[in-house]
Amino acid sequence: MAIFCQSPFKPITALSLPKPHQPHKTQPCLVKCSKTHLVSTEPEPVFTSVRSFAPATVANLGPGFDFLGCAVDGLGDHVSARVDPSVHPGEVSISEISGDNAKKLSKNPLWNCAGIAAIEVMRRLGVRSVGLSLTLEKGLPLGSGLGSSAASAAAAAVAVNEIFGARLSTEELVLAGLKSEEKVSGYHADNVGPAIMGGFVLIRSYEPLELLSLKFPAEKELFFVLASPDFEAPTKKMRAALPAEIGMPHHVWNSSQAGALVAAVLQGDVEGLGRALSSDKIVEPRRAPLIPGMEAVKRAAIEAGAFGCTISGAGPTAVAVTDDEARGRAIGERMVGAFMVEGKLRAEAVVRRLDRVGARLVSSIPR
């Protein structure tokens, strides 16, 4: 059974890149995940069943390879969890997977992103006397560069936590989701972090894991134009294309652009955000030629008025940014056209806002 997740992270050596709800504030908020906390007393279920949602994510954001990402509104996965007497106590089963390409995903919880995260939450809660059954509704295409595996993991982590009274903290949920990413996708939190936390997230450190929530001003408009072509860009292949070493000039350039991107997010400067987003000189130049038409798509987006454009995650989705929704639709049309003309690929484009909430409970049935 094929598993559509990202391949294990292989850090760049020499001058390398790092290993991989609230009111608006201009300062970043630190989430420090240095210790594993286990609930000492086994919790009782407070709900018979729950349904949760986790959003799509855009990782890297140009120069922020494996340490920057954000959540996108209106796209994502749902997970339903219910207390199931037919499931062995302390265990998780996956009863159904629906959505596009659902048959390509394993129902074995040990090999499914949602199942792995759910099991890790159960372990952290110390649940030994209750079994759960999960239903996964895939709203994201597989291998699209929109954080499909992270959305499944985040939604499952939140669902299981909520069914037992939401006893785990945000950082523990991130660690549970990261456990899933680590096993089937690679140890990187630039998708699962924003999928759970919402907004923009900076991974400050991996050992120990520390994440910074970057607050984009609520009064500012920001739209993502996501153009997804009918093309598979396997993460293993896309990571294999990365350079083994980088030179000092490119290291300095990308570092300065990543810093500029963070400043633009905190200031609500969409134009500055776009310029930084488009500035990667290390990863995008290696990956863009592997996606037919990507370089032309980027040019078309900027010519149509986008402030910037880059590859979303490992691709093949291209992401552009603007501060006007109508302009975003026009930009999307130009991007789709460029994929067809230059890449001979059919594509679809959507315009979405920033998701500021992250994974959340959608509905529940009390016991």
Grouped pLDDT means (10 residues each) for the chain, 367 residues: 35 36 46 56 94 98 96 97 96 94 90 95 95 96 91 97 95 92 79 97 91 96 97 79 92 97 98 97 94 97 98 95 98 98 97 97 94
pLDDT of residue 111: 92
| CATH 3.30.230.10 holds for 2-215+355-366 | yes
Cβ density class 212-248: b for 16+ within 10 Å, e for less? bbbbbeeeeebbbbbbbbebebebeebbeebeeebee
> CA-CA distance, 3 to 15, in Å (whole number)?
32
Sign of CA dihedral 140, 143, 145, 149: positive
Integer CA distances (angstroms), 76 to 52, 97, 181, 231, in order? 10, 14, 16, 20
Outline which parts of the chain fall under CATH 3.30.70.890.
223-353
CA dihedral angle for residue 174, residue 204, residue 37, residue 113, rounded to 10 degrees = 30
Tokens of 284: 């995008």
Second-level CATH architecture of 223-353 = 2-Layer Sandwich (3.30)
pLDDT of residue 37: 58
Count CB neighbours of 53 within 10 A: 23
Outline which parts of the chain fall under CATH 3.30.230.10.
2-215+355-366
pLDDT of residue 33: 54
Would you say 53 and 196 are in contact if contact means Cβ atoms under 8 Å apart? no
Tokens of 255: 């570092």
Global pTM reads 0.88
Query: What are the residue numbers of the active site?
Result: 181, 235
Token look-up 């083994």 returns: 244
> CA-CA distance, 227 to 337, in Å (whole number)?
10
Q: ∠ CA 70-135-112 to the nearest 5 degrees?
A: 65
Q: ∠ CA 65-239-71 to the nearest 5 degrees?
A: 40
pLDDT of residue 30: 60
